[in-house]
């Protein structure tokens, strides 16, 4: 039992962590929290099953196509729902615009794909039992993503430009950094990370349109607790959340797990609105 | 975008002239107008109009100070010129119209703006900060231009691989000025580089202006420390209540008194003169 | 006296096209239609209408949260879930003995109220998106719990809904029950909306800092609103369970939340009739156009996106013809300082605000470094100095935003608590802001009335039921606000939306709002910025007159000529310390000051 708690918990946690990183990547470039993170995760599974299972496309090609769709959706998100409301960001209209867009995509999925959860194909028949690929695949995806982002931020100019824009948008613009393009690139990147999460987690979570709201919330919890913009916080928080959920599921039942996560989320945020590791807010007057 | 492509090569050519130490006067052969020509500029925040109908000019290689009491609109003017804030009216650099609200194109055209409050990227190294300042510079020469900018500030060069967060306020300010230099601008705009610095550091930062002027780069300096500013510039403009109220040579004898009258309004009580 | 009574009546209207419709007539028509519907004897239509009423019971409360307070509570369907399961489980005897159905419905409302506050509490501390996410998370979890808690909810299989006994038995009896409750919900929320509580909610939404300065305590007010909205949501849930006759977790989809939310947004923020019509239309529309049913949520979401991107103010804004009528082009602000004694009343006591030894640090920076300052009633005290010298920080210490490390702040000898901005109004300390902070969507008059919030005596419940004390409050406040507007010279703009005013007019609106408080101390933060020379002259005259009526005025300003013109005393700050203090003449000839001002 311990093995399955750990393997399943870590795997789900890795999916949460990746969705958390998706939130972060979008937030860093735009200061916008986007409800499309869960949508991307949901679509990663649905599109993967569609391409590989239904349409019989080769798994590698299908995977690349899923990521490409994620990038395109990320760009559409930026153009359609973020850029128009960015000028008056203090009105928080992005909450509604990104939510509306995510819901539209979710509804199209529900109608065209169906409201039943459908199985996701086995990609690499490696490992069995608690070492099954469906458990280590999300963890691998998470590790690759973290490594890739680290490389990007450390060794490329565009990666440093991402960091610069995240730290001080105004100074970055003054230096002549192409803020708009960097924001689009960030959203495309977030789109790929989000669909990667859904794709690698879909054997556990299935290809199901309802995953959207679940991933939206459970992907946000680690980010909110770890501090917005901190990928390390998202990974630690995500894995911890996954483990906690599975342990509670097995030991005391699902009601308690759900309520406990929510209670912890609210209590921590009420005590430390900026997250456990976050910085405090600026002055208002 | 198309416009940018059209004039970028011209800019680069002129800049190479500067690097090779050509006389600034050569540039004026292209056009008879001064390097920077601002006319009819108005700008503000939302409904608040801060600047009304500003006109000023700066010659190639000239250092000019922009003075004025706080709240006069100095920072707003720099922002409007560099495209960080939308404006109406014209800003021309070397005969080319600068696009409105497009800081990227403005930087590429050779106008650098070092914003107030030494806002460097604290989580990046000094070297990375400078590389970013050269984002629009071709990769082949970027590293060299970074080195050239660093040559102005040996103490930053010594710390080039340290994160900017470890620098003191004065060093961060030098780094910010160095960022402005990486692109080899024709006009460098500095917004209160002395703020929060000790007198010694102020001198170090302002000394760079003298060096720059010697190398042919024009400088527009916003500064609170008037005497220090006057020591390094050729000319001054004074801004009060959103308009240019005074233009004078820096070595004019009666300048402090004229400034005072310009700030406090001619019609106000004037016991000082009595 | 007479010359003022006329404009008081003229400015009486509330905002906009829907505002005027809200004048009874449309409600009477809606009510008559609802009462007469059973005459058609069409039970299908009756069911649809009942559903619309139930949705509106929830949306009426949610409207106060979303439309008025501006809190993005996107998961309010959870209140429906809680109310439905509570009522159903209690009535069916799944928890203890069977409850009478009406009592079970009340319990549903009670549970809704409690969880309304639980879910709403984070809004007091969290940023907008976090709060939206909390409500969404709660909705997700409510459904998960409903699925898992089989004993009480029947899990995925579901549980039968309660059946209301006579007189509201299924059919038209139940129809009238829902109609009645919808009417009550409308009446209650409309009363709140047009009361000082409603204005305070809107102020929290659009100008939070100004709301605090006007004495509005956000936590208390929001808790009341969440309580009310939760209770209405819970009751709607109980009714919903009865209408459905059998409920499963599937019935409470997140899409329903979207319907509630969009109904309110379409109708326009800060209106009651608009969201009511919006909810009605969104409920009925898919029933009429059957092929739309499958795509209805998609269309709602598309509509939401469209509204946000194209008309963030909702349809109400689009139809707000009256506020699109052009205003007079060349308006002049002509203050009437002669009215000040009536606005301010007797300021017999000479107020004295005394700051002593104030030290305040931001991180390592000394923002204020041992400041002594006295502001006397009847005088204008100017505060000047270079950027970063601590002027606005000083003002913010008095306004209660910061807690200094050391020092005291006394008003007439008694200590004023630090870091409590919303108690300043009770001490009759008013202020204006560097950038005017007004509620753009409210009328100028309503904006000014916000300033007098603390003068009201009626409780929330009294306002909810429109009892006499509430009505007296409203009348007194309205008259005071009109008088203040006349004093600053803006009474002709009383009914205009504030966001249509010019910048200079907004500065005077802020002063009028401060005057309604009858301030013992008035703090002005750069009131002359952005004003023309003539306007500055009039402003100066008004400020001076305010001080002569007995108010202590603290003036932070860059315009040196204005300072030297109207101040009785001037304090010059530099690096958080007093550089000089004295009469304008002394300061004007103070060598150090002049050089600090010009830069040394």
Number of structural domains, chain C? Answer: 3
pLDDT of residue C4: 38
Report yes or no: C370 and C358 within 8 Å, Cβ to Cβ: yes
Decide the pairing of beta strands B96-97 and C246-247.
unpaired
Residues C49 and C81 in one domain: yes
C-alpha span between C113 and A270 (Å, rounded)? 20
The angle at the Cα of B78, spanning B74 to B81, to the nearest 5 degrees, equals: 135
Chain C touched by A214 (CB under 8 Å): yes
Report yes or no: A17 and A239 within 8 Å, Cβ to Cβ: yes
Residues C61 and C79 in one domain: yes
Q: What percent of chain C has pLDDT over 70?
A: 94
Of the candidates C299, C143, C132, the residue with the CA atom closest to the CA atom of residue A107: C299
Rounded to two decimals, the ipTM of the complex is 0.90
Lookup result for tokens 């590791």: A277
pLDDT of C278 higher than 50: yes
Q: Chain C: list its partners (3+ Cβ pairs within 8 Å).
A: A, B
Segment B31-49 mean pLDDT = 87
> Of the candidates C482, C501, C518, which is a domain's last residue?
C518
Note whether residue A28 is domain-resident: yes
Inter-chain contact B226–C598, Cβ cutoff 8 Å?
yes
Chain B touched by C530 (CB under 8 Å): yes
Residues C537 and C498 in one domain: no
Dihedral in degrees, nearest 10, Cα atoms C526, C529, C534, C537: 10
- Residue B70 is nearest to which of C386, C530, C585, comparing CB atoms? C386
Give residues with Cβ within 8 angstroms of C306, minimum separation 6.
Answer: none
Chain A touched by C295 (CB under 8 Å): yes
Torsion B258-B262-B267-B273 (CA) sign:
negative
- Low-confidence stretches of chain A (pLDDT < 50) are 280-285
Segment B180-206 mean pLDDT = 88
pLDDT of C13 higher than 50: no
* Mean pLDDT (chain B, rounded): 83
CATH of residue C401: 3.40.50.300
Note whether residue C162 is domain-resident: yes
* Mean pLDDT (chain C, rounded): 88
| Chain B nearest CA to A183, separation (Å) | 14
Q: Band of the pLDDT at B7, cuts 50, 70, 90?
A: very low
pLDDT of residue B242: 87
Note whether residue C2 is domain-resident: no
Q: Band of the pLDDT at C19, cuts 50, 70, 90?
A: low
Nearest CA in chain A to C136: A217
Residues C445 and C552 in one domain: no
CATH of residue A232: 1.10.3470
pLDDT of C560 higher than 70: yes
Inter-chain contact C140–A214, Cβ cutoff 8 Å?
yes
Q: What percent of chain B has pLDDT over 90?
A: 55
More confident residue, C211 or B4: C211
Q: Band of the pLDDT at B29, cuts 50, 70, 90?
A: very low
Q: Which CATH number fits domain B47-264: 3.40.190.170, 3.30.390.50, 1.10.10.60, 3.40.50.300?
A: 3.40.50.300
Chain B residues with CB inside 8 Å of C387's CB?
A: 70-71, 224
Note whether residue C1 is domain-resident: no
pLDDT of B39 higher than 90: yes
DSSP result, B169-238 = HHHHHHHHHHHHHHT--SEEEEE-TTTT--HHHHHHHHHHHHHHHHTT-EEEEE-S-HHHHHHH-SEEEE
Cis peptide before B73 (omega within 30 of 0): no
Q: Band of the pLDDT at B224, cuts 50, 70, 90?
A: confident
Inter-chain contact B226–C584, Cβ cutoff 8 Å?
no
Chain A touched by C310 (CB under 8 Å): no
Inter-chain contact A167–B122, Cβ cutoff 8 Å?
yes
pLDDT of residue C18: 54
Residues C157 and C262 in one domain: yes
Q: Which domain holds residue C264?
A: 15-322
Tell me the per-residue pLDDT of C426-476, one tens digit each, with 9 for 90 and over: 999 999 999 899 998 899 999 999 999 999 999 999 999 999 999 999 999
Note whether residue A163 is domain-resident: yes
pLDDT of residue C407: 92
Chain B touched by C500 (CB under 8 Å): no
pLDDT of residue B261: 79
Q: Which domain holds residue A96?
A: 2-271
In chain B, where the domains are located: 47-264
Tell me the per-residue pLDDT of C479-488, one tens digit each, with 9 for 90 and over: 999 999 999 9
Sheet holding B218-222, edge to edge: B111-114, B187-191, B218-222, B63-67, B235-240, B243-249
Torsion C430-C433-C436-C440 (CA) sign:
negative
CA distances from A180 to A29, A79, A161, A173, C79 (A): 9, 10, 12, 10, 41
Chain B touched by C502 (CB under 8 Å): yes
pLDDT of residue C32: 92
pLDDT of residue C20: 53
Number of structural domains, chain A? Answer: 1
C-alpha span between A228 and A31 (Å, rounded)? 10
Give residues with Cβ within 8 angstroms of C204, minimum separation 6.
Answer: C69, C70, C211, C216, C218, C221, C222
CA distances from C393 to A108, C287, C360, C525 (A): 53, 59, 9, 11
The angle at the Cα of A60, spanning A59 to A64, to the nearest 5 degrees, equals: 115
CA distances from B61 to B57, B214, B218, C550 (A): 12, 7, 4, 58
Nearest CA in chain C to A38: C133
Which A positions 73-92 lie with beta carbon below 8 A of chain C?
Answer: 80-81, 84-85, 91-92
- Residue C72 is nearest to which of A85, A92, A258, comparing CB atoms? A92
Report yes or no: C378 and C408 within 8 Å, Cβ to Cβ: no
Inter-chain contact B71–C388, Cβ cutoff 8 Å?
no
C-alpha span between C333 and C490 (Å, rounded)? 6
pLDDT of residue B168: 87
Best of A100, A112, A257 to substitute, by most chain C Cβ atoms within 10 angstroms, is A100
pLDDT of residue A226: 83
pLDDT of residue B4: 34
pLDDT of B40 higher than 50: yes
pLDDT of residue B62: 94
Note whether residue A171 is domain-resident: yes
C-alpha span between A274 and C307 (Å, rounded)? 31
Decide the pairing of beta strands C246-247 and C159-160.
antiparallel
Q: Where are the beta strands (DSSP E) in chain B?
A: 36-45, 48-58, 63-67, 88-93, 96-97, 111-114, 187-191, 218-222, 235-240, 243-249
Residues C143 and C61 in one domain: yes
Of the candidates A93, A120, A108, the residue with the CA atom closest to the CA atom of residue A30: A93
Residue C406, classed as helix, strand or coil, is strand
Segment C205-232 mean pLDDT = 94
pLDDT of residue C598: 60
Q: Band of the pLDDT at C83, cuts 50, 70, 90?
A: very high
- Residue B121 is nearest to which of A167, A173, A178, comparing CB atoms? A167
DSSP result, C431-470 = E--SS----TTSBHHHHHHHTTGGG----HHHHHTT-HHH
Q: What are phi and psi of B95, to 5 degrees?
A: 85, -5
Tell me the per-residue pLDDT of A211-246, one tens digit each, with 9 for 90 and over: 998 999 999 999 988 888 889 889 999 999 999 998
C-alpha span between A36 and A22 (Å, rounded)? 9
Note whether residue C6 is domain-resident: no
Chain C touched by A224 (CB under 8 Å): yes
Note whether residue A51 is domain-resident: yes
pLDDT of residue B266: 52
Note whether residue C434 is domain-resident: no
Residues C194 and C248 in one domain: yes
Residues C510 and C561 in one domain: no
Q: How many other β-carbons are positioned within 10 Å of the β-carbon of residue C533?
A: 11
pLDDT of residue C394: 93
pLDDT of residue C410: 92
pLDDT of residue B269: 39
Lookup result for tokens 């103010």: C313
């Amino acid at each position: 039992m311990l093995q399955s708690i750990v393997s399943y918990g870590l795997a789900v946690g890795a999916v949460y962590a990746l969705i958390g990183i998706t939130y972060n990547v979008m937030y860093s470039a735009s200061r916008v929290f986007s409800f499309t993170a869960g949508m991307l995760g949901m679509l990663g599974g649905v599109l993967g099953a569609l391409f590989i299972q239904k349409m019989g496309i080769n798994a590698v090609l299908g995977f690349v196509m899923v990521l490409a769709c994620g990038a395109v959706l990320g760009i559409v998100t930026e153009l359609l729902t973020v850029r128009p409301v960015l000028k008056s960001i203090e009105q928080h209209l992005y909450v509604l615009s990104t939510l509306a867009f995510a819901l539209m995509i979710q509804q199209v999925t529900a109608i065209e794909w169906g409201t039943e959860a459908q199985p996701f194909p086995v990609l690499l028949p490696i490992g069995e039992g608690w070492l099954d690929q469906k458990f280590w695949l999300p963890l691998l995806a998470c590790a690759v993503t973290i490594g890739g982002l680290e490389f990007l931020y450390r060794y490329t100019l565009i990666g440093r430009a991402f960091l610069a824009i995240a730290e001080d948008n105004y100074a970055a613009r003054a230096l002549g950094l192409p803020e708009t393009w960097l924001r689009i690139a960030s959203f495309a990147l977030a789109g790929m990370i989000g669909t990667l999460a859904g794709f690698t987690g879909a054997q556990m979570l299935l290809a199901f349109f309802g995953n959207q709201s679940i991933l939206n919330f459970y992907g946000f919890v680690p980010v909110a607790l770890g501090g917005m913009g901190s990928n390390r916080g998202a990974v630690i928080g995500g894995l911890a959340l996954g483990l906690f959920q599975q342990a509670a599921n097995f030991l005391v039942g699902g009601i308690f797990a759900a309520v406990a996560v929510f209670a912890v989320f609210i209590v921590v945020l009420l005590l430390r609105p900026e997250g456990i590791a976050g910085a405090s807010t600026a002055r208002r007057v | 975008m198309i416009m940018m492509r059209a004039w970028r090569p011209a800019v680069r050519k002129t800049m190479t002239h500067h690097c090779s130490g050509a006389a600034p006067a050569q540039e004026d052969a292209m056009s008879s107008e001064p390097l920077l020509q601002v006319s009819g500029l108005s700008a503000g925040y939302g409904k608040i109009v801060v600047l009304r109908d500003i006109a000023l000019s700066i010659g190639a290689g000239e250092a000019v100070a922009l003075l004025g009491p706080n709240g006069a609109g100095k920072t707003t003017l720099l922002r409007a010129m560099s495209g960080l804030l939308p404006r109406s009216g014209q800003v021309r650099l070397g005969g080319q119209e600068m696009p409105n609200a497009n800081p990227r194109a403005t930087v590429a055209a050779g106008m650098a703006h070092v914003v107030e409050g030494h806002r460097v990227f604290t989580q990046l190294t000094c070297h990375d900060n400078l590389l970013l300042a050269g984002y629009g510079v071709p990769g082949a020469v970027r590293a060299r231009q970074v080195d050239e900018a660093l040559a102005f500030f040996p103490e930053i060069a010594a710390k080039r691989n340290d994160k900017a967060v470890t620098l003191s306020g004065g060093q961060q300010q030098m780094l910010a000025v160095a960022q402005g230099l990486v692109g080899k601008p024709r006009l460098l705009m500095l917004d209160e580089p002395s703020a929060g610095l000790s007198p010694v550091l102020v001198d170090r930062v302002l000394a760079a202006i003298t060096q720059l002027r010697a190398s042919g780069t024009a400088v527009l300096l916003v500064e609170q420390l008037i005497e220090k500013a006057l020591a390094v510039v050729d000319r001054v403009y004074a801004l009060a209540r959103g308009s240019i109220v005074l233009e004078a040579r820096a070595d004019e004898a009666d300048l402090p008194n004229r400034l005072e009258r310009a700030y406090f309004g001619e019609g106000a009580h004037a016991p000082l003169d009595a | 006296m007479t010359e003022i009574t006329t404009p008081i009546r003229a400015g009486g209207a509330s905002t906009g096209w829907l505002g005027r419709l809200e004048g009874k007539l449309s409600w009477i028509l809606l009510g008559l239609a609802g009462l007469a519907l059973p005459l058609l004897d069409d039970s299908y239509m009756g069911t649809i209408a009942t559903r619309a009423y139930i949705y509106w019971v929830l949306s009426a409360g949610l409207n106060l949260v979303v439309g008025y307070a501006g809190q993005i509570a996107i998961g309010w369907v959870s209140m429906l879930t809680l109310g439905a399961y509570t009522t159903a489980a209690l009535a069916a005897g799944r928890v203890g003995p069977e409850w009478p159905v009406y009592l079970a419905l009340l319990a549903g409302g009670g549970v809704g109220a409690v969880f309304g506050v639980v879910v709403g509490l984070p809004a007091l501390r969290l940023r907008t998106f976090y709060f939206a996410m909390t409500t969404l998370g709660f909705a997700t979890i409510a459904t998960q719990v409903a699925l898992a808690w089989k004993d009480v909810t029947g899990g995925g299989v579901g549980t039968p809904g309660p059946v209301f006994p006579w007189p509201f038995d299924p059919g038209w009896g139940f129809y009238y029950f829902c109609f009645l409750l919808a009417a009550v919900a409308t009446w209650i929320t409309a009363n709140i909306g047009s009361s000082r509580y409603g204005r305070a909610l809107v102020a929290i939404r659009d100008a939070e800092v100004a709301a605090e300065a006007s004495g509005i305590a956000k936590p208390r007010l929001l808790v009341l609103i969440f309580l009310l909205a939760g209770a209405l949501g819970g009751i709607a849930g109980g009714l919903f369970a009865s209408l459905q006759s059998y409920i499963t977790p599937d019935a409470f989809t997140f899409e329903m939340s979207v319907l509630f939310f969009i109904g309110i947004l379409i109708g326009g923020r800060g209106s009651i009739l608009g969201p009511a019509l919006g909810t009605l239309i969104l409920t009925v529309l898919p029933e009429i156009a059957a092929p739309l049913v499958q795509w209805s949520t998609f269309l709602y979401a598309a509509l939401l996106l469209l509204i946000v991107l194209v008309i963030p103010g909702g349809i109400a804004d689009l139809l707000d013809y009256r506020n699109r009528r052009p205003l007079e082009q060349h308006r002049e602000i002509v203050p009437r300082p002669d009215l000040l004694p009536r606005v301010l009343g007797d300021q017999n006591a000479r107020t004295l605000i005394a700051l002593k030894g104030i030290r305040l640090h931001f991180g390592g920076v000394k923002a204020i470094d041992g400041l002594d300052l006295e502001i006397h009633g009847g005088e204008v005290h100017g505060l000047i100095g270079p950027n970063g010298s601590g002027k606005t920080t000083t003002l913010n210490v008095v306004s209660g935003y910061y807690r200094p490390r050391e020092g005291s702040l006394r008003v007439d000898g008694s200590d004023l608590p630090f870091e409590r901005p919303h108690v300043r109004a009770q001490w009759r300390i008013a202020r204006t802001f560097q950038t005017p902070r007004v509620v753009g969507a409210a009328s100028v008059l309503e904006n000014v009335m916000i300033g007098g919030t603390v003068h009201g005596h009626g409780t929330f419940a009294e306002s909810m039921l429109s009892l006499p004390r509430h009505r007296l409050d409203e009348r007194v406040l309205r008259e005071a606000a009109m008088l203040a507007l006349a004093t600053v010279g803006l009474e002709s703009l009383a009914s205009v939306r504030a966001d249509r005013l010019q910048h200079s007019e907004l500065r005077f609106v802020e002063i009028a709002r401060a005057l309604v408080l009858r301030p013992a101390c008035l703090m002005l933060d750069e009131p002359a910025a952005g004003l023309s020379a003539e306007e500055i002259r009039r402003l100066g005259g008004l400020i001076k007159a305010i001080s002569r009526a007995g108010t202590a005025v603290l003036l932070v300003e860059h315009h040196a000529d204005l300072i030297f013109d109207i101040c009785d005393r001037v304090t010059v700050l530099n690096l958080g310390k007093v550089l000089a203090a004295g009469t304008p003449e002394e300061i004007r000839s103070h060598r150090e000051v002049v050089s600090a001002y010009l830069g040394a």
